[in-house]
Amino acid sequence: MSNFSKLGLSPNTIDVLDQLGFEQPTQVQEQAIPLLLQNAPCDFIGLAQTGTGKTAAFGLPLMDLIDSDQPYTQALIMSPTRELGQQTAKQLEDFSLNHKNLNVEVVYGGAAILNQIKALRRPTQIVVATPGRLLDLIKRKAVKLDNIRYVVLDEADEMLNMGFKDAIDEILSYTPDFKATWLFSATMPPEIRKIVKKYMSHPKEVTINREEKSNRDIFHKYVMTKTVNKLPALRRFLDLQPEMRGVMFCRTRRETQQIAEELSSQGYNAEALHGELSQQQRDNVMKRFKSKSIQLLVATDVAARGIDVDDLTHVLHHTLPDQLESYTHRSGRTGRAGKKGISLAFINPREGRKITELEKKIKVKFEHIEVPGVGSITEQRVKNWVEAIVKTETNQKANEIFKAVESEFDHLSKSDILKKLIASQIENLVKGGEESNLNEKVGGSPEKRDKGRFNRYFINIGSIDGMSKKELISYVSEITRVDAKFFGDLSLQKNCSYFEIDKRYDNDISSRFRNVHLDGRSIRMNREDRSDREPKSKKKGRPERKFSKKDHRRSKRRKR
């Protein structure tokens, strides 16, 4: 690959790139820059995935094509989001270090428009804008596009997905016919082709092999688990990989907020990013994320547009997008700047077909990986807990309580105290009741499909007693002293329930319900042999009678 000096850029621009530490152009830069410089002015289409260096592909030629001695606006760059617009403007300002008179202004919604109007009164050669705010400024006559020579539509497919088609059409109607239009996009849907046909004349085109980049820089993986277990599964990956830094995509704003709040309440550095946040709240979240105060950003697709962070290790998918093209946008936020990244999808057994569709569409192979078991994460969770204790600052109240209870520990050594502390925390750290194996296969989890490992029980407690499945398992676990993780399927009915327990841990547990009462009623639990559930033609001999209300009614009829 050639270096920047061979692409036709001016010595001034090459000098800036040297100062900024740019050494080798990316593929889209290598192909686009010479075309834009040698054929100026020309219309241009650049198809490349997010994170391939498109800003420099159009920004560097603009540095050499714009006359910085002229005070009027010569280039307009439209971006889908405030965040992307700010990042683009910042990079252009860096590129213009040797162009002293060149001024770049960025305008967007959610900020004081009067301040932006004031800024635009200064000589401004390049305006970076979101479509909605730009239209407002045009109608206020705060920005003039009469002398525009270059229009850049950055992330054009994203702008159309966000509903900016009409706004783009109206904005372009204010620009002169002789301008050059440069369109950059990750995909080329029919709506983009309509823009090309309407506003471009014989455009030059560069297409970067997105599939090759996905194969080379991003490892595509998935786990299969129940929908209700997706969050517990995520926690296990966060525990085992404390260096993980990524974005998790969710389908709805509500889901995004709930997941972020639950993770945060359990000690994980996670925050939500969605459309119901104010612009200031979004800015604060992104500031904390970029400063690495946040480990995981939980976001909707729309809110995450424009996120440009080079060192993300993971992109996580709580739910795969309905439009498979959006998967490319999501996963493209990792594996940048020559670094490897992981795109990990959490899917339930019904979503397996989406993985197959993605493999065919983007021509990558997904690796099926297992959710770590409880045993493999307990030690790491204890270590994380210890680190949190070490970092905790003491206060006056803690000192007062310590003096009051200090003598209670006199007979214990430091090692004894630490061991007791760790033992007391282990159950909490594995989230009591959390299943050991969260993995599923089409048709059910491996443990629960192996019915030979479980015994099935009847209990005369049902939904009429106000219990949920989780509460019932907790209740039975407490009385039988069998850990909830060894329970299998549970069928909660109105007046009774049926549940499974791993036969390795259910020795004589029915006897533990003797003399147990709930709201004044005796509780009975009986084991149901597998032969009781076989078709009659396969039964041999008379089965042992089991307790159930149905059997009870039959018995009464026979006695009559």
pLDDT for residue 306:
59
In whole angstroms, what separates CA 231 from the centre of its chain? 12
**CA–CA separation, 63 and 91 (whole Å):** 11
Which domains occur in the chain, in start order?
4-208 (3.40.50.300), 450-559 (3.30.70.330)
If you average pLDDT over each of 93-97, 272-276, 310-314, 386-390, which comes out highest?
93-97
* Each residue's pLDDT tens digit, 458-504: 899 988 888 888 888 888 888 888 878 788 888 888 888 988 888 87
269 within 8 A of 296, measured Cβ to Cβ? yes
118 within 8 A of 148, measured Cβ to Cβ? no
Q: What is the DSSP letter of 444?
A: B
Kindly list the distances between the CA atom of residue 455 and the CA atoms of 235, 492, 516, 527, in Å, as whole numbers in the listed order: 30, 17, 21, 7
- The yes-or-no verdict on residue 408 having pLDDT over 80 is yes
Q: Which sign, positive or negative, has the C-alpha torsion 342, 377, 428, 386?
A: negative
pLDDT for residue 427:
62
Give the list of residues 6+ apart from residue 414 with CB closer than 8 angstroms, or none: none
* HSE-up (13 A, CA, CB side) for residue 92: 28
Q: What is the DSSP letter of 292?
A: T
119, two tokens: 């800024």
63, two tokens: 């540095």
Q: What is the DSSP letter of 537?
A: G
Pairing of strands 314-317, 487-492: unpaired
Which single residue is written with the structure tokens 């697709």? 301
What's the longest Cα–Cα distance across the chain?
Answer: 108
- The yes-or-no verdict on residue 431 having pLDDT over 60 is no
* Each residue's pLDDT tens digit, 320-373: 887 766 787 788 788 776 678 999 999 988 888 888 888 888 788 899 999 888
Rounded CA Rg of the chain: 31
Which of 176-185, 208-217, 455-464, 500-509 comes out lowest in average pLDDT? 208-217
Which of 138-152, 334-348, 442-456 comes out lowest in average pLDDT? 442-456
171 within 8 A of 201, measured Cβ to Cβ? no
Amino acid identity at 170: E
Q: Where are the beta strands (DSSP E) in 84-197?
A: 104-107, 126-129, 150-153, 180-185
* HSE-up (13 A, CA, CB side) for residue 158: 31
Calculate the dihedral angle through the C-alpha atoms of 307, 311, 315, 321, rounding to the nearest 10 degrees. 30
Give the list of residues 6+ apart from residue 362 with CB closer than 8 angstroms, or none: 210, 211, 214, 324, 327, 328
**CA–CA separation, 14 and 31 (whole Å):** 17
- The yes-or-no verdict on residue 534 having pLDDT over 50 is no
Check: pTM over 0.75? Answer yes or no: no
**CA–CA separation, 170 and 192 (whole Å):** 16
Amino acid identity at 416: D
182 within 8 A of 46, measured Cβ to Cβ? yes
Which of 99-103, 230-234, 349-353 comes out lowest in average pLDDT? 349-353
**CA–CA separation, 148 and 556 (whole Å):** 92
SS3 for 207? strand
* Each residue's pLDDT tens digit, 151-177: 999 989 888 877 888 999 999 999 999
Cite the DSSP H helix spans in 368-503. 374-391, 396-405, 414-429, 446-449, 469-480
For residue 176, give the nearest of 148, 155, 152, 150 by alpha carbon: 148
Q: What is the DSSP letter of 510?
A: G
Q: Which sign, positive or negative, has the C-alpha torsion 245, 249, 252, 258?
A: negative
pLDDT for residue 546:
38
* Side-by-side strand order, sheet with 44-47: 104-107, 126-129, 75-78, 150-153, 180-185, 44-47, 204-207
- The yes-or-no verdict on residue 300 having pLDDT over 90 is no
* Each residue's pLDDT tens digit, 69-97: 999 999 999 998 888 898 899 999 999 99
451, two tokens: 């019915």
Amino acid identity at 439: N
SS3 for 68? coil
345 within 8 A of 233, measured Cβ to Cβ? no
Angle between helices 131-139 and 165-173 (to 10 degrees): 40
pLDDT for residue 43:
95
Which run of H or of E encompasses 168?
Answer: helix 165-173
Which of 54-68, 404-418, 506-520 comes out lowest in average pLDDT? 506-520
Q: Which sign, positive or negative, has the C-alpha torsion 349, 351, 353, 359?
A: negative
